[in-house]
Amino acid sequence: MAEQRKKTVVNSWNEWDPLKHVIVGRADGTMMPAPEPAVEWDFRKDGIPVGMHGRFPKEMEDKANEQLDHFAKILKKRGIRVDRPTVFDFGQEIQTPDWKQKSSFGCMPPRDVLLTVGNEIVEATMSYRTRWFEYIVYRPLLEQYFKEDPNFRWISAPKPRLTERTYKKGFWEEYHGLSAEEKIRRGRRGEWVHTEVEPLFDAASVARFGKDLFVEHSTVTNLSGIEWLRRQFPNHRVHKVMFDEEWPCHIDATFVPLRPGLVLQNRKRSPLIKDTSDLLKKNGWEVVTCAEPAHKEKAYLSHCSIWLSMNLLVLDPKTVCVESDEKAQMEQLDKLGFEVIPVPFWDVSAFGGGLHCATADVYREGKCEDYFPKQVEGF
Ligand code: ABU
């Protein structure tokens, strides 16, 4: 007899409660994106000139899909329901009334697009033109969840126009002429390519700690985006955080909660806003510095950093999935009392990230709790 699948319930408040239902991305059809004003994809280290674009080599795509499917199998074996997105042709030209773009990106990292907060899933605005239509790959699933769960709240954040007003005029010309020190100084001041004309955020800029959401001001999430989240979640405390990095992207290779009272911190990207550390300390949270990553360089054709070493997926407060090359990271987590599940995933990096990026929560047991009863005023 065919197995009876349980009806969907959307519920997930943090990054560590027992995971029961998750979306895992796919590598199919992923594109090296065509140039656009938001970002410069630079693969010169891999012998690819700036501006070159097109579909990733089939062999790479197949290897990535093999690792993604294997990861999905590991999760299923642990009793976790796994859903997958529906791919569209990312190579087709896209357009809105405001702009045209030669292609989209792909659908490996659902974490970038979907933000689950309790019974709500928010489709993030995104801030790259190449990622504007990415929500479409998740629509069949979200439609299904909407039918099956009467309490599911499905929200699409305001689609940004991404016109010339969204990006600073002449940004890239000036940026290329800056010294390394000046780039770092500007990063510390949060001066990147986006303006504040409209709210912009990626879902992976948010780390969920129950009632407290830490949102990273970065090259993909502007201050208006953080303000939009603050107004969208009036019963939460939304904290703007920043980390010391020239071109920050997502929080999930920087500041990663592991269980109540324990956060993994990137050893190179320390918090720039002192209140972040103060809040953790005041509430008895321990911050451990991550282990040295196994890889010294980014993966071939990867836009993501070597810090995917800490882009892990917590299955419950005692169990964590870690990329299988990351022996030092696994050892550190083992010493912290976790059962560590090694998952081969390095070949997925170029398709948009690691184990956390490749997933989006649908259901974790548990409810909204206050892990920071002692607040830092104004943070
Ligand atoms: N999306 C996670 C990648 C962040 C990083 O490259 O550090």
Spell out the SS3 assignment of the chain: CCCCCCCCCCEECECCCCEEEEEECECCCCEECCCECCECCCCHHHCCCCCCCEECCHHHHHHHHHHHHHHHHHHHHCCCEEECCCCCCCCCCEECCCCEECCCCCECCHHHCEEEEECEEEECCCCCHHHCCHHHHHHHHHHHHHHHCCCCEEEECCCCCCCHHHECCCHHHHHHCCCHHHHHHHHHCCCCCECCCCCCCCHHHEEEEECEEEEECCCCCCHHHHHHHHHHCCCCEEEEECECCCCCCCHHHCEEEEECCEEEECCCCCECCHHHHHHHHHCCCEEEECCCCCCCCCCCCCCCCHHHHHCCEEEECCEEEEECCCHHHHHHHHHCCCEEEEECCHHHHHHCCCCCCCEEEEEECCCCCECCCCCCCCC
Strand partners, 14: 209
Active site (annotated) includes residue 250: yes
Cβ atoms of residues 158 and 170 within 8 Å: no
Separation between Cα atoms, residue 278 and residue 20, nearest integer Å:
33
The verdict on the CB of residue 250 being under 6 Å from ligand 1 is yes
Q: Give the ligand 1 atom nearest the CA of 254.
A: 7
Task: Tell the residue nearest (CA) to atom 3 of ligand 1.
Answer: 304
- Give the model confidence (pLDDT) of 16-72 as tens digits: 999 999 999 999 999 999 999 999 988 999 999 988 999 999 999 999 999 999 999
Residues of the chain with pLDDT under 50: 1
The verdict on the CB of residue 311 being under 6 Å from ligand 1 is yes
- Give the model confidence (pLDDT) of 262-310 as tens digits: 999 999 999 999 999 999 999 999 999 999 999 999 999 999 999 999 9
The verdict on the CB of residue 252 being under 6 Å from ligand 1 is yes
Cα 139 to ligand 1 centre (Å):
25
Sign of the Cα pseudo-torsion (23, 93, 198, 171, in order)? positive
Q: Give the ligand 1 atom nearest the CA of 307.
A: 7
pLDDT at 358: 99
The verdict on the CB of residue 229 being under 6 Å from ligand 1 is no
Mutate to test the pocket of ligand 1, among 254, 265, 304, 356 (most ligand atoms within 8 A of CB): 304
* Cα first-last separation, the chain: 55
pLDDT at 3: 53
pLDDT at 298: 96
pLDDT at 42: 87
